[in-house]
Amino acid sequence: MRYIIINKPYEVLTQFTDEAGRATLKDFVPVPGIYPVGRLDYDSEGLVLLTDDKQLQHRLSNPMFKVEKTYWVQVDGVPADEALTKLRLGVQIKGGKTTPAKVRLLEEAPEVWERSKPIRFRKNIPTSWLEIRISQGMNRQVRRMTAAVGYPTLRLIRPGIGPLSLGDLQPGQWRDLTPEEVEQLKSIASKENIASGSNVRGKSFGSSGNKGRKGSGRGGFRKQIN
């Protein structure tokens, strides 16, 4: 069995084929027979889990199983406390109302790589970064959440899923999970957890078990954001 994480670059599809000729995971991961667990939008970046373990893939994709996903979100403007409170309580978006989220305004921008296409920049409107943790999976949920409270998303990065984190992986880089990480995944995907709908929190991003290969791209991850 193979268990792989990749730092999906901007404008890459979370699949291995595309009739329109757009970039896919096949352009980066030369491993046959593996498939993504869940999705990450074409215009979003960050952690995607790939595996040929069909049982684990099925369990982690089960809507009854709620695994916490962490996002770093660059938005237009600086959200007021009222907007942050709305996000924490849940907001109405296309597809329904979101469940309560863990949201905080980051004091400093996370140390990440430069995007292949820079975000739009306006001198008279500052930008800021949020950390948002959710266990739902609505279509383009995070973008619709920030837009619903008046702060459109400019850039979206997923640095963590449950116990997994990108570590030092740069865009397009990937690695196999450690035996410890595989056991953690299997534990949180147990039938007991699915039956109870337990919400699994990830470890801090500086965990020694989650270090990736160092890349040549600019920047890196801030090791601790708790």
Q: What is the pLDDT along the chain (226 residues), one digit of tens a residue?
A: 999 999 999 999 999 999 999 999 999 999 999 999 988 999 999 999 999 999 888 888 766 777 889 999 999 999 999 999 999 999 999 989 999 999 999 999 999 999 999 988 777 789 999 999 998 888 899 999 999 999 999 999 999 998 999 999 999 999 999 999 999 988 887 755 555 555 544 443 333 333 333 333 333 443 333 3
Domain hosting residue 138, numbered range = 69-159
Position 216 in a domain: no
Buried b (16+ CB within 10 A) or exposed e, 185-217: beebbeeebbeeeebbebbebebeebbbeebeb
Same domain, 79 and 141: yes
Count of C-beta atoms within a 10 Å radius of residue 142: 24
The reply to whether 76 and 130 lie within a common domain is: yes
Looking at the DSSP assignment, which residues form a beta bridge with residue 49?
5, 37
Pair (150, 169) in one structural domain: no
Say whether both 52 and 15 belong to one domain.
Answer: yes
Question: What is the domain count for the chain?
Answer: 2
Which of these is catalytic: 18, 27, 41, 168? 41
Whether 112 and 129 share a structural domain: yes
Looking at the structure, tell me whether residues 128 and 181 fall in a common domain.
Answer: no
Catalytic residue at 41?
yes
Is 50 found in the same domain as 86? no
- Does residue 73 belong to any structural domain of this protein? yes
> Residue 57 is part of a domain; what is its CATH number?
3.30.70.580
Residues 45 and 111 in one domain: no
Q: Is 196 inside a domain boundary?
A: yes
The answer for residues whose C-beta is within 8 angstroms of residue 193's C-beta and 6 or more apart is 65, 187, 200
Longest dimension (CA), the chain: 52
